[in-house]
Amino acid sequence: MNSSHLVNEGYDKLKTLYLAIAHGAIIAAYSIVRPLKSTVFLSFVGSSFLPSAKIVSFIMAPILMIMYSKLLNATHRHKVAIILFGIYAAAIAIFSIVMINPSMGLSNTITSPSRITGWIVYLFLDFFNVMVLESFWSFTNSISSPHFASEKYSIIAAAARIAGIISPLIGWASMVYLETITSAPLLCILSSMLLVVAMVSLQQITKSIPEDHLGGYNKDSEPSIKDPNKKTNWLDSLKLLIREPYVGGIFILVYSFNFVSTFADFQMQTFVSEYCNNQFREIAIFMFKFTAVFQVLGYFFSKVGTHSLLKRFGLPFCLLVSPLVTFGLLLILISFKSLMVATLTMIVFRALNYGFNVPVREMLFIPTTETIQFKSKAWISSFGQTFSEGLSSFLNDPSMLIHILPNAVGSSPFLIQTISSLASVRSSVALLLTGVWFFTSYLLGQKYDYTIKHNKVIGKHGEKKPL
């Protein structure tokens, strides 16, 4: 074993350590703010307005993505994740102050759509996955090779699952043993501090590892921010979804997953809202326990399943696992409607996603250009999430048409019949999209293998230069 190999191995271990710490801190924060997001909205605004919130998220997505593209053009791409982590850390810290306010915060126990605080908290945290978690993976994919991903992504995911188990248990304990008015703000502060830890970890990667070891699979140089001709605008990165079938295929995967997730999650949250009578403390306790349980199962999937299956069967096979299991979970959810069934189904679904589906799906971005890894990926995540959630939410509550359309139209028998028909097909649409997800996963797996074997880069003309 030569010294060069030992040096590379040492840098890989260091990179894995810092990425595991950063991802663990992000997931720990997410495992707190996600239950709080749902809890705040259900107790402040009400479960019946969840579909409307998803529609608003969809409307906001293009604006945020244009701003994100401008940020990418204005700074080094490795710094983008750090900046976004800082923005969310500051905002969540501000939420902790708002929670204490007598009229805007937790002391006000009235559930009403006019509670602006509930809307702001929910909508801002609804983009946590896109702005924070996805920017982490964009950073990680840009500095990773296929070999590094197959060997280390499961370790990074497993570390995150451990953090994801501990933090919701802390949230659950704080809700049980502390007053709500105290526990919720403290949990926000903890989440903010965890994001600061993630910021520092990513900074350490760029400081302690030489730049020539951070090139990943695609070693194209960064566009100079001084050269406007080398920048790509938001429209160019969006066009890649249409021009590159591979990129469009990843969008279909994200879209299908989020549609099914929103459909299933709405069923569970409706049961939870009724069971807890919209009480903040009771909903929070339920959500934190739910999060801890699926993180435990997710750890098992990432530790045992992801690494073993990737090593033994390869990425093309692993891409097919999630849609197959999801199809079975949907059949159970559709057949048996109860809080227990909905909760158990969502536990397996979320554990499978975070412990297995995400690290496997992220590998698809490795043999692509940095424009795809950062800008197109952001569009995929934002539109794949908000557009699918918006449509799924509309099918979950098609009666929102009555409130949008004029009274004469809204009260027509035709519209009432249409609403009834839309509500009846939502399960079929979810099952159909799972089939599309499976077929697209097969095609993407074949394309990924071909690209790696022939040493190419997707989104770039010509062959990739030898490493």
Q: In which residue are the tokens 């997001």 written? A: 37
Q: Is residue 267 part of a domain?
A: yes
Integer Cα distance of 419 and 102 in angstroms: 40
Q: What is the DSSP letter of 228?
A: G
DSSP letters along 12-74, please? HHHHHHHHHHHHHHHHHHHHHHHHHHHHHHHHHT-GGGHHHHHHHHHHHHHHHHHHHHHHHHH
Give the per-residue pLDDT at 358: 84
Is 433 a domain residue? yes
Name the residue among 165, 84, 91 with its Cα closest to residue 130: 84
Q: Which domain holds residue 345?
A: 3-214+228-453
Q: E-assigned strands of 294-405?
A: none
Query: Is residue 460 in some structural domain?
Result: no
pLDDT of amino acid 347 = 93
Tens-of-pLDDT digits for all 467 residues of the chain? Answer: 455 555 567 778 889 999 999 999 999 999 999 899 989 998 999 888 887 888 888 788 888 877 887 887 777 767 888 999 999 999 999 999 999 998 898 889 889 999 999 999 999 998 898 889 888 988 888 888 888 887 888 888 888 888 989 999 999 999 999 888 899 999 999 999 999 999 999 999 888 888 777 766 655 444 434 444 445 555 666 677 778 899 999 989 988 888 888 888 888 988 998 888 888 899 999 999 999 999 889 888 877 767 778 888 889 999 999 999 999 999 999 898 899 999 999 999 998 888 888 888 888 988 888 778 777 777 787 777 777 777 776 666 666 555 555 554 445 565 556 656 665 677 888 899 999 999 999 999 999 999 998 888 888 754 444 43
Q: What is the CATH number of the domain that holds 173?
A: 1.20.1250.20
Q: What does the pLDDT read at residue 362?
A: 86
Residue 356 falls within a domain, yes or no? yes
Q: Is residue 465 assigned to a domain?
A: no
Q: How many domains does the chain have?
A: 1
Q: Which residues pair with 458 in a beta bridge?
A: 368
- Judge whether 152 lies within some domain: yes
326 part of a folded domain: yes
Instruction: Tell me the pTM.
Output: 0.76
Distance CA 132, CA 84 (A): 6
